Amino acid sequence: MTPDAASIPDADGDTLSDADEGALEARDSDNDGHPDFEDDDSDSDGVSDSVEAGDSDLATPPLDSDTDGDPDYLDTDSDDNGIFDGIEGTGDSNNNGVPDSRDFDNDGDQIHGRGPSRCCLCM
Ligand SMILES: [Ca+2]
Ligand SMILES: [Ca+2]
Ligand SMILES: [Ca+2]
Ligand SMILES: [Ca+2]
């Protein structure tokens, strides 16, 4: 975390700044009655905002893994591989340091992860 980040407000402590979470307009992306800046899971995909933030630095913009304009914490399919983040979870099937929810190729077989992955089939 940079020194400047200590002065950036973060009401829910998920490492996404209140400004990034639309505190001014009290945006509530998943319409659960909790505005994003006070919601631990703003898109209700089962993966917490602190994980989907991408890093613990308040000064950096929220991560957008698939660069579709929706940051991961508001994107129910962060890696755009056709499998919802809540199904992929935050495990790391291929041990490449990228959680499955934002890893295009969970099993590392070089085949884009769209459709059922092998890890799901053997559960
Ligand atoms: Ca926050
Ligand atoms: Ca909410
Ligand atoms: Ca989420
Ligand atoms: Ca996105």
DSSP three-state, residue 92: coil
> What does the pLDDT look like over 41-65, one tens digit per residue?
999 999 999 999 999 999 999 999 9
For residue 122, what pLDDT is reported? 42
> What does the pLDDT look like over 6-35, one tens digit per residue?
789 999 999 999 999 999 999 999 999 999
Q: What is the mean pLDDT of residues 92-108?
A: 92
Evaluate if residue 120 carries a pLDDT over 90. Answer: no
Q: Taking the C-alpha atoms of 54, 60, 65 and 71 in order, what is their torsion angle to the nearest 10 degrees?
A: 100
Residue 73 CA, ligand 4 centroid: distance in Å: 8
Residue 86 CA, ligand 1 centroid: distance in Å: 20
Q: Which of 12, 87, 80, 79 is nearest to 46 (CA)?
A: 87
For residue 15, what pLDDT is reported? 96
Residue 76 CA, ligand 1 centroid: distance in Å: 18
Residue 79 CA, ligand 4 centroid: distance in Å: 7
Residue 37 CA, ligand 1 centroid: distance in Å: 5
- DSSP secondary structure letter of residue 39: -
Q: pLDDT class for 109, splitting at 50, 70, 90?
A: confident
Q: Which of 76, 123, 121, 69 is nearest to 102 (CA)?
A: 76
